[in-house]
Structure 1
């Protein structure tokens, strides 16, 4: 019996929202015996969480801002990146290129189109991003994280596949653990994060909002909050002044452990945040980032809010009084939080990485048509070269 080990290239912008699902797919493809490479920018190459087996290639990728005067330079950068990607494909011979959005994905996928290599884009948000909109007509398949995607042209519907948003293995492992019990007078653990850079509005509003809860509820609070470095001491003083125990930090490496212990999440509605909340099943109060492109965080929150797993507060309405009101509605009875947690869990798509890998594997030559790579030498061919290995040779 033989197994075919194929080559895949993943291309993603240098943010956690783009790279977290890319890393999850890379791990799944590697587990299946494939070889995977990453195209990203300098930020992406240095971001925590990249699997050790995954080599990163940095490509230039111009940003197309609102000022057209900068576009010629951006176009030149994209074309340079496309040329570099084509050279990489000549040596690596990928079966398919998978883009996760962000400008570094643009030259990588344009190169795939020029070379006749199959391509897939994955959209993490409920609104199709700029780069993915540019590429939607060129790719073989569009993988989505939500059933309804805004700004996706209806003519592309036949190649849309709902797979969900892959999450980290450590988070997915929590899915079968029950929601932590809340004794009548026991601790109520609240986790507050504001994305990779923190969010000042959370630092300003959350401590005062928690202080406005009824004394019986306030006395049970145990808070973990991510803050910007420049806000850390001010937030610490606020919690101390309110007599609320709080652990503060700019970054928590064990976020999966903290998510497992949390009874309530308060934070932004980024794609990875929503995916992790629904994978684990945690109720939330979401404050979508108002300056997010196309207001995609508001769109991200809709499915979870409609299901009863979260409440959303627009940032202009996010006051201490409103936060206290919403927490009281959720936390006044232990079963209310547990029911919301179950609703969030039901929104999860735990097979996202596996389903996306299945989709990716569906493209490319049939094994009988694959070119065998001998001693690392890819023979020239109009089809993508793949590695044919006997079981046990690896």
Structure 2
């Protein structure tokens, strides 16, 4: 406990990748006696898992992209309105610091914080600095990262960088001290397959046939749990049935943490939250990075865990049933091979990420009295197109 109750604003885009670490930080700050507010978009305000104590404020999320000047103007106006709304929130909430987790809703909020001279921190979940965080990196007071190597992060900003990891859900973190499930020469090989929040069709197309190509000593011991898209689930069920492989299929698993706890091997995408959970729990994986991910960041996310020996990465263009079977065979040929890979993945985890990020956030900000004076005055003194233009140009 810090001993002083402060107010903090967290700003994040409306996807799980941005919001899961924001929720984890909010929970830790609230545990320390602070008050926290969330700025996001309409999708983020409705996302499952938001803590009950955390009020959500929806701001416009303007984008300045493409070649159409009319789209630029529309995006600029949305950012301007979002910045004004953020300043009004700061005037009433009086935050000691503002923390951005990427995504377009974070942009006007962090621009408002810098213009109001409120200490600001950004957290980057991926191994490539995202577009919004890239724009803000030179303006904020600190940059928290989840990986030792982060691409697109300018060397001149190294003094601002703090490696904290990527916070994960509490129910996942509690699994860290549980042993890797026993895997013996004649025991079950439990495989968990997921493709992100929407599933991934390529996994439905490749994984059943790849598992069927394993040598009988492994294939006859398989127990599969796989997330599928609704439109794919019947076809996938038929494929597993024709191969004689027991498989539990669903479009969504509410108890994903329990499924991960029981799994010997994970097959799926390489999003930031997925990597953070695999390394928190310590589960070997075969990762297929999303090929259309911005700046190919999912491939970069696999770098650390693959180099450590905790996972193997297959580019989607080379992700075939034959290649998948080959990689599984190599990883699971001996019981100790999977256990060693699990330990390597575990060593890549950052179990104190939420606490370390909270420590960093608490290190910024003046006394609550000075926060009131500064934010109240700044919110009245700044605003309008001239201030936003200055922020965008700096």
TM-score norm. by structure 2 comes to 0.93
Q: Is the Cα contact below 8 Å between 2:208 and 2:240 reproduced in 1?
A: yes
Aligned counterpart, 1:285: 286
Q: For residues 91-170 of structure 1, what are the structure 2 equivalents within 5 Å?
A: 91-170=92-171
Aligned counterpart, 1:391: none
CA distance in 2, matches of 1:161, 1:382: 26
How far 1:383 moved relative to its partner?
5.9
Aligned counterpart, 2:7: 7
Q: For residues 312-331 of structure 1, what are the structure 2 equivalents within 5 Å?
A: 312-331=313-332
- Greater alpha carbon shift after TM alignment, 63-72 vs 211-220: 63-72
SS of corresponding position for 2:10: strand
Q: Is the Cα contact below 8 Å between 1:95 and 1:384 reproduced in 2?
A: no
Q: Is the Cα contact below 8 Å between 1:371 and 1:384 reproduced in 2?
A: no
How far 1:216 moved relative to its partner?
1.9
How far 1:64 moved relative to its partner?
3.1
Aligned counterpart, 2:28: 28
Aligned counterpart, 2:63: 63
Aligned counterpart, 2:374: 382
Q: Deviations over 1:219-246 (max 9, x none)?
A: 1000000111111111111111111111
SS of corresponding position for 1:381: helix
How far 1:67 moved relative to its partner?
3.0
Q: Deviations over 1:334-393 (max 9, x none)?
A: 100000000000000100000000000000114xxx329xxxxx9x512689xxxxxxxx
Q: Is the Cα contact below 8 Å between 1:365 and 1:384 reproduced in 2?
A: no
Q: Is the Cα contact below 8 Å between 1:13 and 1:19 reproduced in 2?
A: yes
SS of corresponding position for 2:298: helix
Aligned counterpart, 1:48: 48
* Structure 1 residue 85 corresponds to structure 2 residue 77: no
SS of corresponding position for 2:4: strand
Q: Deviations over 1:36-84 (max 9, x none)?
A: 0000001101111100000000000112333333111111101000000
SS of corresponding position for 2:64: coil
* Structure 1 residue 371 corresponds to structure 2 residue 354: no
CA distance in 1, matches of 2:315, 2:240: 24
Aligned counterpart, 2:275: 274
CA distance in 2, matches of 1:382, 1:36: 19
- In structure 2, do the counterparts of structure 1 residues 110 and 249 end up closer, same or farther at CA, with 3 Å as the change threshold? same
User: Which consecutive unaligned segments of at least 5 residues does structure 1 have?
Assistant: 373-377, 386-394
SS of corresponding position for 2:302: helix
CA distance in 2, matches of 1:248, 1:2: 46
How far 1:2 moved relative to its partner?
9.5
Aligned counterpart, 2:300: 299
- In structure 2, do the counterparts of structure 1 residues 63 and 383 end up closer, same or farther at CA, with 3 Å as the change threshold? closer
Q: Is the Cα contact below 8 Å between 2:2 and 2:32 reproduced in 1?
A: no
CA distance in 2, matches of 1:318, 1:178: 30
CA distance in 1, matches of 2:294, 2:310: 24
CA distance in 1, matches of 2:355, 2:251: 32
How far 1:301 moved relative to its partner?
0.1
CA distance in 1, matches of 2:21, 2:193: 22
- In structure 2, do the counterparts of structure 1 residues 283 and 255 end up closer, same or farther at CA, with 3 Å as the change threshold? same
Aligned counterpart, 1:388: none
Aligned counterpart, 2:388: none
Q: Is the Cα contact below 8 Å between 1:97 and 1:109 reproduced in 2?
A: yes
CA distance in 2, matches of 1:45, 1:232: 29
CA distance in 1, matches of 2:68, 2:361: 36
CA distance in 2, matches of 1:242, 1:273: 28
Q: Extract structure 1 runs of 4+ deviating beyond 6 A.
A: none
Q: Deviations over 1:275-334 (max 9, x none)?
A: 000000000000000000000000000000000000000000000000000000001111
CA distance in 2, matches of 1:66, 1:281: 41
